[in-house]
């Protein structure tokens, strides 16, 4: 048997005139807004440089590690995060890793 999928229905659903008018007004507002926005080349050079500097300072976090632990250890970790009202990742970064460095 051939692997065939039904063709999707590409027709628009029926809309009343009120809804069509709302869509037309929304599209007109988007076109007006786009025309009023200044082109990117007119941005101040200092602002562009500051944006590039911020992007260069932030290093992407691309590594991922899995930690095996017991349910009791996980609950202790969750309790520490809840006590600080932070995420578990924050507890690792700000509490556990600095204590390992000492």
Over residues 61-90, the pLDDT tens digits come to: 677 778 888 999 999 989 988 998 888 888
Over residues 8-39, the pLDDT tens digits come to: 666 667 778 888 888 888 888 877 766 666 55
Contacts of 2 (CB under 8 A, 6+ apart): none
Tokens (6 digits) for 54:
């911020």
Q: List b or e across 33-47, with b for residues whose CB sees 16 or more CB atoms inside 10 angstroms.
A: eeeeeeeeeeeeeee
- Phi–psi pair at 98, nearest 5 degrees: -60, -35
- Looking at residues 43-60, what average pLDDT do you find? 57
């Amino acid at each position: 048997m051939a692997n065939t999928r039904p063709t999707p229905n590409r027709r628009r659903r029926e809309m009343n005139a009120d809804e069509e008018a709302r869509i037309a007004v929304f599209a007109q507002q988007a076109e007006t807004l786009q025309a009023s926005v200044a082109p990117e080349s007119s941005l101040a050079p200092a602002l562009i440089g500051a944006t590039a500097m911020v992007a260069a300072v932030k290093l992407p976090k691309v590594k991922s590690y899995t930690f095996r632990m017991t349910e009791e250890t996980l609950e202790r970790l969750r309790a520490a995060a809840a006590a600080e009202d932070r995420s578990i990742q924050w507890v690792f970064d700000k509490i556990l890793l600095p204590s390992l460095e000492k």
